[in-house]
Amino acid sequence: MSYTNSSVGSGSRTTGRTFEFGRTYVVRPKGKHQATVVWMHGLGDNGSSWSQLLESLPLPNIKWICPTAPTRPVAILGGFPCAAWFDVGELSENGPDDLEGLDASAAHIANLLSTEPSDVKLGIGGFSMGAATALYSATCFAHGKYGNGNPYPVNLRAIVGLSGWLPGASNVRNRIEGSHEAARRAASLPILLGHGLCDEVVPHIHGEKSFHALSLAGFRNLVFKPYDGVGHYTVPKEMDEVCNWLNTRLGL
């Protein structure tokens, strides 16, 4: 495992704010490099903890990139500053979304993937707020552009969202339906969602609503896995299913 120092990548700067992203941890493949997946942590966490878990998975052909979110005031915590991919005040498909923060994080993730070799398959995954950012990135890929209208630059082959939700869920269908190309990309992008039925932080209903919003918007290659007795965390069974799904979807 290695890391790079904090940096602001191109695309991390938007018209209003500049976001300082933290340290990025990289887990290099133990076998042939066939895929690269950026994995995003949850609120208040960092890339290090997830990099250690991902390094232990039996996926020798995947390179994992685990960035750390910028530290910013977060409304749901009463304005307390912590590592967050975007600002959030409530979990609601109709709630106000921090599109500027979402775009900056989605662009930072895409920039990390944009320098990977052309024959390597690219994916994005995350937990909780990281899952929300991964799902937002999926909608940007399908739409072909970020929320601010800038073009989305990379070709995604897989999305994993664990214990998360879909920001801007009520607008996704409108973004996709207006374009044949967007509909084609949405239909072809594999997405795996996993959620604990006893999650008290991001209740399971948000995972279900995200699944239905994506399905209505034309994302056809969707899997939703509920986990009995599981709260806001991952369990070995869930990570085993993530491994099997990535092996299949990425052809590893």
- 30-75 confidence digits (pLDDT tens): 999 999 999 999 999 999 999 999 999 999 999 999 999 999 999 9
Known active-site residue 45: no
Both structure tokens of 181:
């190309």
Q: Of residues 143, 199, 206, 210, which has the active-site annotation?
A: 199
Known active-site residue 232: yes
The pLDDT, as a whole number, for residue 92 is 63
The pLDDT, as a whole number, for residue 95 is 61
C-alpha span between 129 and 86 (Å, rounded): 8
- pTM greater than 0.85: yes
Spans of the chain, pLDDT less than 70:
1-16, 92-96
Taking a C-beta distance cutoff of 8 angstroms, is the pair 158, 119 a contact?
Answer: no
Q: Of residues 51, 128, 137, 210, which has the active-site annotation?
A: 128
Nearest CA among 101, 90, 29, 114 for reference residue 64: 29
Known active-site residue 199: yes
